[in-house]
Amino acid sequence: MTYNKVDEKVIEKLKEVVGDEYVFTDKDTLENYSHDETPMYKSMPEAAVRPGSTEEVSKIMKLAFEKNIPVTPRSGGTCLSAGAVPIYGGIVLSLERMNKIKEIDKKNLMVIVEPGIITEQLGNELMKHELFFPPDPVSLDSCMIGGNIAENAGGPRALKYGVTKNYVTGLEVVFSDGTISRLGGKLLKNVTGYDLIDLIVGSEGTLAIITEATLELLPMPKIVVDLLVPFMCVEDASQFAIDITKETYTPTAIEFMEGEVVRAVAQYLKRKIPFEEASAHTIIEIDGDEKEQVGKIYDKIGDRALKYGALDVFVGESANDRQKIWEPRKNIGDALKELTTIVAREDLVVPKDQIPPLINQLKECVKKYGAALYAFGHLGDGNIHTDVGMDDYSDEKQEDYNDKKKVDDMRKEMYEITLSLGGTITAEHGIGLSKIPYISMALDVTQVELMKKIKKIFDPKNIMNPGKIFTDQ
């Protein structure tokens, strides 16, 4: 694609829209906007701009459309598929200033928010009203609602409560030419025409910029209990998870950490974690409104765990005990960053009964490339995160073609294994930039071409996060 550069005239017009203090061209600031949390992907924008309103976003897009300048929308920058990397330079449009909760509607169980609100901050505010927004990415202390919607984020509670798209009932969006449109509202049913909301949710900023969202809420459960259950092998943990999801009670979450991951986190935290020698640690969360009812459920789950060879069942009822149970799971990313060089962060998904062969085959696969596999994730819905670390992969080597080719070849083989087990290449991180070379492995030509036509209708000049999901036309 050929785009125009961001020249001084464009910079001046951007400053007229948002003010001098919210337009950035200095190297240090642009460096922060040149990457997200995806290993090995980086590209410098020519400018970054932080609008404060829908009207300002609209004016920026009108300018970009007129001047044929690419725009990369960005919320918290926590993407794990390089979806926020501005590979064509241009403008990074950061929504971090648009961080207000506009309304909490307790009668209708709805909240209206701007895209820059941090997910955890929204949750803390809703807690004061005994309400909650169920999707809970592990990065909720830094990710933002706009990014959650753009990626259709899930998280541990997806097993019981579903993913982000299940709670988005209305959107205000800005299209590539600056047009503002409102979709849906505080409505639980709406079949007036095609469902454009569901099309935009998960579209990774390639179809429109989200400037406001109406989200369905649920009453906060009165009782939440977490169980930590270690097993000596992944197969036992997997069978246990399949078994308890067949019951009439549905756990909120069934999380998984493979033994190597647990030991890495213990080293990072500099403390002993119970049963570090176990090959599979699971965290089961149960919630409800009656203490006696929740107690009966976790007793049943505990009995079932012991039947499958669990080494023990730790019960966390207090907030402090629950925090201790979740601490290793929430520190995996930081631990692996410190202890190894992560070259791939995958979020593969397979039928639940295929998790053990997936992990075993992937371990053998990456070993051939001199790498180690760190597996963890959502055992209850078949979504396993597989970070790949290479201890000898220095920063200098990242520029070396042969090493990058090795990583690319390894990822291709990992996807082949996943697809052969009835899975697919991403469950919640998205295609972004990093998985474009592999999308044809998972989708047929007809599907990809249909998606490209949809993109063309929404974004005829291809200025909305270009170079993401599939190769540009």
Handedness of CA 79, 85, 86, 87 (dihedral sign): negative
CA separation for the pair 333, 345 (Å, rounded): 10
The class level of CATH for 101-219 reads: alpha beta
In angstroms, what CA-CA distances link 250 with 179, 247, 254, 317?
43, 7, 10, 18
Strand partners, 347: 385, 426
Parallel/antiparallel/unpaired status of strands 218-219 and 131-132: antiparallel
Average pLDDT, the chain: 95
* pLDDT higher than 80, residue 206: yes
Q: What is the pLDDT of residue 395?
A: 52
Residues contacting residue 114 through CB under 8 Å, at least 6 positions apart: 95, 98, 99, 100, 101, 102, 145, 146, 211, 212, 213
Rounded to an integer, the average pLDDT of 188-205 is 96
Q: At what angle do helices 259-269 and 319-330 cross, to 10 degrees?
A: 110
Please name which of 462, 398, 410, 464 lies closest in space to residue 437, comparing C-alpha atoms: 410
Model pLDDT for residues 6-58, shown as the tens digit of each residue: 999 999 999 999 999 999 999 999 999 999 999 889 999 999 999 999 999 99
Domain segments of the chain as ranges: 8-97, 101-219, 223-332, 340-442
Q: What is the pLDDT of residue 387?
A: 96
Residue 342 and residue 389 in contact, taking contact as beta carbons nearer than 8 Å: yes
Our separate counts of H helices and E strands in the chain read 16, 18
Q: What is the pLDDT of residue 123?
A: 97
Angle at 405 between CA 402 and CA 408, to 5 degrees: 160
What's the predicted TM-score (pTM) here?
0.94
Q: What is the pLDDT of residue 401?
A: 45
Parallel/antiparallel/unpaired status of strands 253-258 and 218-219: unpaired
CA separation for the pair 27, 49 (Å, rounded): 14
Q: What is the pLDDT of residue 280?
A: 97
Residues contacting residue 184 through CB under 8 Å, at least 6 positions apart: 168, 169, 170, 171, 190, 197, 214
* pLDDT higher than 80, residue 84: yes
Model pLDDT for residues 95-140, shown as the tens digit of each residue: 999 999 999 999 999 999 999 999 999 999 999 999 999 999 988 8
Rounded to an integer, the average pLDDT of 421-449 is 96
Q: Which phi and psi angles does 127 have, rounded to 5°?
A: -60, -35
- Give the distance from CA 136 to its chain's centroid: 10
Q: What is the pLDDT of residue 404?
A: 81
* pLDDT higher than 80, residue 399: no
Architecture of domain 223-332: 2-Layer Sandwich (3.30)
Architecture of domain 8-97: 2-Layer Sandwich (3.30)
Instruction: Give start and end residues of each alpha helix (H) in 84-195.
Output: 119-127, 145-151, 158-161
Residue 130 and residue 179 in contact, taking contact as beta carbons nearer than 8 Å: no
DSSP string, 419-472: HHTT-BSBSSS--TTTTGGGHHHHS-HHHHHHHHHHHHHH-TT--BSTTSSS--
Residue 214 and residue 187 in contact, taking contact as beta carbons nearer than 8 Å: no
CA separation for the pair 107, 340 (Å, rounded): 49
Q: What is the pLDDT of residue 402?
A: 57
Model pLDDT for residues 269-290, shown as the tens digit of each residue: 999 999 999 999 999 999 999 9
CA separation for the pair 410, 416 (Å, rounded): 10
> What distance separates the 2 farthest-apart alpha carbons in the chain?
70
Model pLDDT for residues 146-190, shown as the tens digit of each residue: 999 999 999 999 999 999 999 999 999 999 999 999 999 999 999
- For domain 340-442, give the CATH number: 3.30.70.2740
Strand partners, 254: 284
Q: What is the pLDDT of residue 1?
A: 76
Residue 225 and residue 294 in contact, taking contact as beta carbons nearer than 8 Å: yes
CA separation for the pair 71, 26 (Å, rounded): 18
- Which SS3 state, helix, strand or coil, does residue 92 take? strand
Q: What is the pLDDT of residue 392?
A: 64
Residue 39 and residue 342 in contact, taking contact as beta carbons nearer than 8 Å: yes
In angstroms, what CA-CA distances link 440 with 278, 374, 416, 469?
38, 26, 12, 11
Whether 223-332 and 101-219 are alike in CATH topology: the answer is no
Q: What is the pLDDT of residue 393?
A: 58
Rounded to an integer, the average pLDDT of 405-411 is 93
- Give the distance from CA 153 to its chain's centroid: 5
CA separation for the pair 42, 394 (Å, rounded): 16
Please name which of 384, 377, 429 lies closest in space to residue 152, comparing C-alpha atoms: 429
Rounded to an integer, the average pLDDT of 429-436 is 96
* pLDDT higher than 60, residue 397: no
* DSSP E strand stretches across 308-391: 314-316, 342-349, 372-378, 383-389
